[in-house]
Amino acid sequence: MEPTVRIPSAAPTHIRVPPELEGLRRLAYNLYWTWHPKARALYARISSAGWARSHSPIPILGGMVDWAGLLDNPDFMAEAHRVIGDFDRYMANGADHWFHRRHARELKGPIAYFCAEYGLHESLGIYSGGLGVLAGDHMKAASDMALPLVGVGLLYRNGYFRQTIDADGHQEHRYPDYDLARLPLTRVLGREGDPLTVAVELPGRDVKVDVWTVQVGRVPVLLLDTDNPVNDPADRPITNILYVRGREMRLHQELVLGIGGVRALRALGIEPAVWHLNEGHSAFLLAERAREFVAGGANLDGALAQVARNSVFTIHTPVSAGNERFDVDLVRRIAGPILDGDGRPNTGGVPVDRALEIGRGSDGDQGQFDMTAFSLRLTNGANAVSKLHAQTASSTWEGIAPHGIIPITNGVHPPTWVGGPVRDLFERYLDADLDDLDGSTNATRWWERIERIPAADLWAAHLRQKRELAVFARGRLRAQFARHGEAPRFLHELGDALDPRALTIGFARRFATYKRSGMIFTDPDRLARLLSDQDRPVQVIFAGKAHPADRPGQAVIQEIFGRTRTPAFQGRVFILEDYDMRIGRFLVQGVDVWLNNPRRPLEASGTSGMKAAENGVVNLSVLDGWWDEGWTGDNGWAIGGREPLADEAAQDWNDAMDLYRILEQEVVPEYYDRESGGPPARWVERMRRSIATNLWQFSTTRMLHEYTERLYLPAAGIEVDQAAQTRG
């Protein structure tokens, strides 16, 4: 199997560059640049102001560029040829990577990966949070590993909401209208060379679905779009907004994703060896594939068995709101016609009554169609996203999943999340290649030799990333409070906000109530004393969104914002609005401590702490999700224990008191324990352990080794020699 799934697409005509620099246009339309600093730096050289505005190369190339001056600049031309040469070699290579060394000859087709959102870069707003960022990291790691894979998702022209926080702390929502010409998207072409459109039958009409692609290194991601002029105006917005609140519109989206996605792959002549459903949003792809088998002459039970044989499923959350369910009457009315075939011969696959039976949830509620239950029953294998989550998921779905639920703990993509100064240390002292984490040249496992980096250099790199966070946060805070009408004096004082010398705690994630974002304020007086110590100051920075329908989560944001404006916490506690991947990078690279205190065992995995750890940031977390298996005792701190109390209020109090104890007696003293102005020796050693124990173990490379050998190859009918499996 070749390392790249090739998708024909129309070359953009609105971006013109000189022939000598044609590679700049090719590179701009491949998100390779999102995880390669030299590529980003090259576009910033073309227009520093343009890069500061857009953080994307396409608006820069489409603007006013002094091409003559660049062509006459030998230094720029030499660097451009180096970067473009590296990109071309990356795209041409692949046969020497892990997958091709071990398994390429066994797999007869690519993996088709379906997900409702993809967090690839902040300039492409088709993600909301952890699920999408995980999917984006999955694509990037598959590219680095030359794993043949094609992603399928939806093109949200209005994306997910952009967040502002008003002067009273209320979260406000704005949906942008993205200009597709300024995004790294190309229109997919069908076999006859025309723009590809597929049809999805909905009650009383066919909806035309345009197919776009975003190229992620070697991996294409197909994005489906109903904003086609031939559609009824009421149907054009179906794919416009991610996680739209209306249940009927959401069901329409998921029919387009699952059914339209299968039809797009078929139209391109792509025959996947394995179908991977990342969460239940795409579950209707299983019904569509069953329809194909029935149309080909199979009986229904045989068709369902064939669908399950090479389909796999990932479940991401034990929280009920994260598992998609629809009222059965709504499913019968909206999905029934396409499932039943609407009376047309050879068009039905899974009669709606049978689909509703397959989709009955673990609670047995006959009034609800559960997409997770439907997916579990019609797949060959399923995984949870941490070892602890596998236990809770197996308990929740006992009797539903015929194959059990195995643990494959999430990972993150180090080239995307490791900050520049720390990355430079890895390359200089350890000869690290983050693009080839499992390559033969890395057989010595360089992350286990982290002690070779001098303590002074590691500390200096960390302080550089702290300063970068401080400068970025000051600008964001100044803009935020200027919009509130604050006085120039106050805005000027923000120039000294977020002191890089102070111990800095970061907390950033979705503001769902079970994540207990405000737990650190349980005893405000005690916290104020801790933060305001003149000799050992501490500061806390928050960021995150609450879903527009989540009023309790929005109330948490309002509470925290209100705290930042009180005399006890002003200048020590901050909250940044409009959390996205860019803010996330600054935070996981620049804080000292990553705080996470969900109510165990409701955090399935969590990946932000992994990103922090690979930068040397130290985790302070409840033993939930990934940290339950990642904590070694010397690479961070654990809040509370592994046996939760039956009384949630008592559990919250106990965890808060333990958090204060750890901060007061361990974290703060260790951070400020220094001799002669040098780096804090014990703290730097804990940073080393954070990197050494987490960088590989919680990387998407290790994760994809497990997906390949524990799910993908078995689903493709390929036996894997357990003894030959990679060490991981």
Rounded distance between C-alpha atoms, residue 114 and residue 338, angstroms = 20
pLDDT at 651: 96
Q: What distances in angstroms separate CA 426 from CA 229, 458, 565, 635, one per listed residue?
A: 51, 10, 40, 19
Rounded distance between C-alpha atoms, residue 353 and residue 376, angstroms = 18
pLDDT at 320: 65
Residues 6+ apart with CB under 8 A from 486: none
**Token digits for 670?**
């260790």
Q: What distances in angstroms separate CA 625 from CA 49, 596, 610, 684, 728, one per listed residue?
A: 41, 10, 11, 25, 19
Q: Which of 652, 661, 382 is nearest to 530 (CA)?
A: 661
Q: Which of 369, 370, 400, 364 is nearest to 382 (CA)?
A: 400
Q: Structural domains in the chain?
A: 98-407 (3.40.50.2000), 499-698 (3.40.50.2000)
pLDDT at 435: 86
**Token digits for 52?**
């500061």
Residue indicated by tokens 């343009």: 50
- In this structure, are residues 542 and 161 in contact, taking their beta carbons and an 8 Å threshold? no
Q: Which of 185, 144, 113 is nearest to 32 (CA)?
A: 144
- In this structure, are residues 542 and 517 in contact, taking their beta carbons and an 8 Å threshold? yes
pLDDT at 101: 83
Residues 6+ apart with CB under 8 A from 552: 513
In order along the chain (728 residues), what is the average pLDDT of each group of 10 residues? 86 91 96 98 96 95 95 98 96 84 86 98 95 98 95 97 96 95 96 95 95 98 98 98 95 98 97 97 97 93 97 88 89 93 65 96 94 96 97 92 94 98 97 83 79 97 98 97 96 94 96 95 98 97 95 96 96 97 98 97 95 98 98 97 94 97 98 90 98 97 97 93 50
pLDDT at 95: 80
Residues 6+ apart with CB under 8 A from 357: none
Question: Which pTM was predicted?
Answer: 0.96
Q: What are the phi and psi torsion angles at 709 (to 5°)?
A: -90, -20
